[in-house]
Amino acid sequence: MLRNSSPDQYAVFGSPIKHSKSPIIHEQFAKQTGQDLVYTAQEVSAEYFSAAVDDFFANGGQGLNCTVPLKELAWQYANFRSERAERSKAVNTLVLQDDGSILGENTDGIGLVTDLVSNQGISLKDSSILILGAGGASRGIIEPILSQLPDNVVIANRTVVKAINLADEFAGTVPIKGCDFDALAGQNFTLVLNATSASLTNQLPPLPEGLLAENGVCYDLAYANEPTTFVRWGQANYAEKSLDGLGMLVEQAAEAFYLWRGVRPETQLVIDSLRPQMKS
Ligand code: NDP
């Protein structure tokens, strides 16, 4: 295909978007891999989503990331979706195809699994996993987690019916069930994932004592300049590792970059470069 000399356009749409780290991440990926592209963050509300995406692709856009509160709308917008995105009912990456159609993908779950397994050396096989929260992020990570063949998965949520419905939706070979936080008393898990948004307001779901197995790992999908409330909870409960979601953020971006450009960037360099900035 003939291209003019201006760089290819990519963006992340969301609201609020001001604090997004995605432009810095993609700029580093592009520099590292010698790709000529521009990636911007644009404030787009749900109301204007469809018109804004039409406009973006009509004006030369090649690929889009969509974040809160647009992932379900992006799922609807896509002309077709990967099997994983289809099941998660949420799309964070739109990819322009050669025939002009738009593919919808969800790279959040692969991002999480890559960070846990490849970066942190944590095997999910045969583990017992607790997922706190049953919102969009939880929905996006379940399939990639189940594909690692854990022993069992429990989803706990404040609004219990959402946890039960989500577990029912993903029922298959790996035992998975939904419950409320009270039902966690007396159970323990080798991996506890916080997929609630509680950390964003410095809150913590009500978690019983003894929830984390010996040598267990805690992972908060949220990230912040300082350790999140959940990361601190993990540390106080003697987690072998208590991690935040910065690695997941960079890994989901790398997966999107690969879908758009066909090149895999080196992620650890980027994670390492962002970590000190977050402390400042
Ligand atoms: P949603 O708004 O879709 O879901 C929020 C979830 O959090 C719901 O299950 C809600 O419960 C629960 N919740 C909110 N506040 C509390 C509280 N105080 N106590 C207990 N439960 C609470 O958000 P998302 O699923 O999109 O995002 C969840 C988190 O994941 C966010 O912190 C987000 O930043 C992070 N994330 C990180 C990514 C990364 O790359 N690192 C990627 C995507 C998300 P209820 O249903 O009862 O309201």
Mean pLDDT by 10 residues, the chain (280 residues): 74 94 98 97 98 97 96 97 93 97 98 98 98 94 96 98 97 97 97 95 95 97 94 97 98 98 97 76
Which atom of ligand 1 is nearest to 111's Cα? 40
Q: What is the 3-state secondary structure (H, E, C) of 133-181?
A: CCCHHHHHHHHHHHCCCCCEEEEECCCHHHHHHHHHHCCCCCCEEEECC
Pick the catalytic residue from 18, 31, 71, 162. Answer: 71
Question: Widest CA span of the chain, in angstroms?
Answer: 63
From 131, 141, 158, 197, give the residue whose CB has the most ligand 1 atoms within 8 Å, as the site to mutate: 197
Give the pLDDT score at 240.
98
CA distances from 189 to 31, 101, 124 (A): 41, 43, 12
**The pTM is what?**
0.95
Q: Is 58 helix (H, G, I), strand (E, B) or coil?
A: helix
Give the pLDDT score at 4.
55
Check: CB of residue 97 under 8 Å from CB of residue 103: yes
Q: Which pairs count as long-range contacts for 240-246, CB under 8 Å and 24+ apart, including other chains? A: 240/215, 240/216, 241/120, 241/122, 241/217, 242/217, 242/218, 243/115, 243/120, 243/217, 243/218, 243/219, 244/219, 244/220, 245/112, 245/219, 245/220, 245/221, 246/271, 246/274, 246/275, 246/278
CA distance 140 to 154: 15
Give the pLDDT score at 136.
87
Told to judge if 71 belongs to the known catalytic residues of this protein, a careful annotator would answer yes
Give the pLDDT score at 277.
61
Which residues line ligand 1 at a C-beta cut-off of 6 Å? 68, 108, 111, 133-138, 157-159, 162, 195-200, 203, 205, 221-223, 245, 248-249, 252
* Nearest to 122, CA basis, from 255, 242, 273, 235: 242
Give the pLDDT score at 262.
97
Residue with the smallest CA separation from ligand 1 atom 3 is: 135
Give the pLDDT score at 47.
97
Give the pLDDT score at 96.
98
Give the pLDDT score at 280.
41
Ligand 1 centroid to 197 CA: how many Å? 3
